[in-house]
Amino acid sequence: MPYGGRHGGAALDRGTSTPRYPDTAIFGHFWLRWREMAGGLALELFSLSVRVLFGLFLEAVLVARRVAIQLFLSPVAAGYPSPAQDYTDGALDLNEHLVSNPAATFFVRASGESMRDAGIFDKDILVVDRSVSPRHGHVVVAVVDGEFTVKRYSSRNGTMQLLAANKAYPPISAADECLIWGVVTYSIHAQSLCHRQSP
């Protein structure tokens, strides 16, 4: 910003006798001599209009300078800039990590022990993505005889089975009325009970 810089310097130079707007003085000097030679009413009028125009021009320059100064000074007034300001990131959001497709993702709460060996415990929150196609080995939320269940999906040798991850529970053969509701992509398990953990 050239205006602000120059003007800022002049304003601070309080001790010197340099005129603040030297252009005005020089221009006025030449003008007076020329008028002595020519004279006449028409030129008098002409000079008036030129002066008005010049005044407006000067005003505009000054206004422009004033605005420029404000812009120049304000960041300094705000204090020393943080050295990190060009390197900031937003805080991490777990949604980005756990939910790749928000429109198709549902949270459900697991209860029971049949998936213990797959790392799913009672009261865990499961992230279920309905847009993922179930494949062999996926943990799925399924509907069997009108009831929700969580099991490992198995489709070996052309037969579909729902397997528990706990020896105490027998596999469910998919010949029964069975529907895959969604694929469990993550399970959220509380390690230490904290105050926000709801039942």
Annotated active-site residue 173? The verdict is no
Yes or no: say if 187 and 126 are a contact pair by the CB < 8 Å rule.
yes
Interface with another protein, residue 127, by CB under 8 A: no
Interface with another protein, residue 146, by CB under 8 A: yes
Stretch that binds another protein, among 39-47, 57-65, 91-99, 120-128 (CB under 8 A): 120-128
Out of 70, 95, 131, 159, the residue judged to bind another protein by CB under 8 A = 131
- Shortest Cβ distance from residue 162 to another protein (Å)? 11
Residue 55 corresponds to which tokens in the numbers above? Answer: 């005044």
Q: List the catalytic residue out of 74, 82, 114, 131.
A: 114
Amino acid identity for residue 178 in this structure? C
Out of 127, 141, 172, 174, the residue judged to bind another protein by CB under 8 A = 141
Of 162, 169, 154, residue with least CA distance to 112: 169
Stretch that binds another protein, among 34-42, 61-69, 77-85, 103-111 (CB under 8 A): 103-111
Residues 62-101 that bind another protein (CB under 8 A): 101
- Shortest Cβ distance from residue 24 to another protein (Å)? 43
Q: List the catalytic residue out of 74, 100, 151, 155.
A: 151
CB nearer another protein, residue 45 or residue 179: 179
Annotated active-site residue 114? The verdict is yes
Interface with another protein, residue 178, by CB under 8 A: no
Yes or no: say if 31 and 47 are a contact pair by the CB < 8 Å rule.
yes
Yes or no: say if 149 and 139 are a contact pair by the CB < 8 Å rule.
no
Residues 99 and 5: their CA atoms lie apart, in Å, by 52
Residues 174 and 156: their CA atoms lie apart, in Å, by 12
CB nearer another protein, residue 71 or residue 143: 143
| Backbone Cα Rg of the chain | 40
Neighbouring residues of 179: CB distance < 8 A, sequence distance ≥ 6:
142, 143
Neighbours of 92 (CB within 10 A): 8
Binding site for another protein (CB under 8 A): 101-104, 106-115, 120, 125-126, 130-131, 141, 143, 146-151, 164, 179, 181, 198
